[in-house]
Amino acid sequence: MKFLVVLHTDDGVNYGVTVPDIPGCFSAGEGIEEALEEVVEAIEGHLEILVEDGEQVPMATAINKHQANPDYEGGIWALVENLSQLIKYIITI
């Protein structure tokens, strides 16, 4: 699974990360690399809860559908993947 994320910073050091396709899923980290590592954990945890609750796992949408959203203006876009723990979890349910 791959999800688009958008990173924002006010100081160039600490980054907040939002996952547009998963409402309420966000994370943060010091530096871009740490922020991206943390958001993978946030996505996995958020999706695990959805699966446990019998909810639908959201599908990723194209970046152009999100770029027009003013909430993401000035953000850095990235694609995260490697959600292997989540995939293993879903398969075992």
Per-residue pLDDT of 24-71, as tens digits, reads 999 999 999 999 999 999 998 998 899 899 998 888 888 888 988 999
CATH, residue 42: 3.30.160.250
Q: What pLDDT was estimated at residue 62?
A: 87
The CA distance from 21 to 6, in Å, is 11
Pairing label, strands 3-9, 14-18: antiparallel
Confidence bin at 17 (pLDDT 50/70/90):
very high
The CA distance from 78 to 37, in Å, is 12
Q: What's 70's DSSP letter?
A: G
Domain ranges, residue 62: 3-92
13 pLDDT higher than 80? yes
85 pLDDT higher than 70? no
Question: How many domains does the chain contain in total?
Answer: 1
The closest of 92, 64, 93, 85 to 1, measured between CA atoms, is 85
**The token pair that represents 78 in the structure block:** 């990235």
Q: What pLDDT was estimated at residue 21?
A: 94
